[in-house]
Amino acid sequence: MPEAEVIYSDVKLARGKKRANEAVNTSTDSTYSEIKISKTQPSTAELSEDPQQAVVRKGSKVTSERVVLVVLSVLLAAALIALCFTTFEMIKTNKKVKYLEDDKMKCDNNLTETLSKIKSCSTVQPTCPAPKVIDDPCYKCEEGWEQHGGKCYYFSTSKSSWNKSRDECRTKGGDLVKIDSREEQRFLERRLRIVMTEAEDKFWIGLTDSAVERTWLWVDGSQLHQSLTFWSKGEPDNWKGHNGEHPDGEDCARMGEQGGADDLKCWFDAFCSTPHRSICEKAAVTGKPKITCD
């Protein structure tokens, strides 16, 4: 705090009357008394602050609080309005559901009443006034056989030699498959991708050169056309075994590539005695005539 100011004041004291004359002859006595008056110095902030600014600051604080209260009141009012609207919509929806339920019940009652009035249907089947016989163009295959292009194919599950496999196909009314077109080869090649369980799980087809080496014949006696062959690369090679234990070489054809074949080429010659699965083939049967009404 600043040091208190010191004010000097000249104070004259009056003496009694009996010394009045003395006062005339002697110089007037002057007594000085030191009087200290303390003045509290206000702080710089208090000196610089205008009273009007203090009032404004107080008013600003009150105004901010009022703004917050107003905003909260508006939000609360909006929430109440939304709640009221939602409640109204729910009540409206419930009324609609109740109306639909009542309407459904009325419909059910009307249907029951109508059905009860209907007479029992006659069990007598109507006859054709003018029967008409038509042919069924569909091809039919026995159970276990697959139909394709007017033929039925059987993919065996057991493994046998080429000759025994052919006998089994004949027992079923067919023979080992003869491939007559590229389209038929495509069908068989794609089908074998699904049924093969491993790379060597190949299937016998009706092709052999056991009668004359390098003269490949189908089971019906027809010769293989070079324009319609699907030998894999390097086949047929007529391999005779590691130690030549098969002097006749590989005289029977098998087919199949589990991962798919380039340009459908998946024929291999093999020892006829090796057990493999096989593909049987026979002609599909067309449907029987049907009797229909005009």
**What DSSP string describes 90-135?**
HHHHHHHHHHHHHHHHHHHHHHHHHHHHSPPPP-PPPPPSSEEEE-
User: What are the two backbone dihedrals, phi and then psi, of residue 282, each rounded to the nearest 5 degrees?
Assistant: -155, 160
Q: pLDDT tens digit string along 72-128?
A: 888 998 888 988 888 888 898 888 888 888 887 887 777 777 766 654 444 444 455
Q: What is the three-class DSSP state of 85? A: helix
Q: State which CATH number among 3.10.100.10, 3.10.310.30, 3.30.450.20, 1.10.10.10 fits the domain covering 139-286.
A: 3.10.100.10
Q: Find, among 150, 134, 141, 152, the residue nearest to 288 by Cα.
A: 134
- Say if residue 250's pLDDT is above 70: yes
What's the pLDDT at 69?
A: 87
Q: For all residues of the chain together, what is the average pLDDT?
A: 79
Radius of gyration of the chain (CA): 60
What's the pLDDT at 148?
A: 94
As given in the structure block, the two tokens for residue 147 are 């139909």
pTM of the predicted protein model: 0.53
What's the pLDDT at 1?
A: 43
As given in the structure block, the two tokens for residue 272 are 């006829």
> Is 76 buried (19+), middle (13-18) or exposed (0-12) by CB count in 10 A?
exposed
- Say if residue 160's pLDDT is above 90: yes
Percentage of the chain modeled with pLDDT above 90: 47
Pairwise CA distance, residues 149 & 145, whole Å? 13
What's the pLDDT at 55?
A: 47
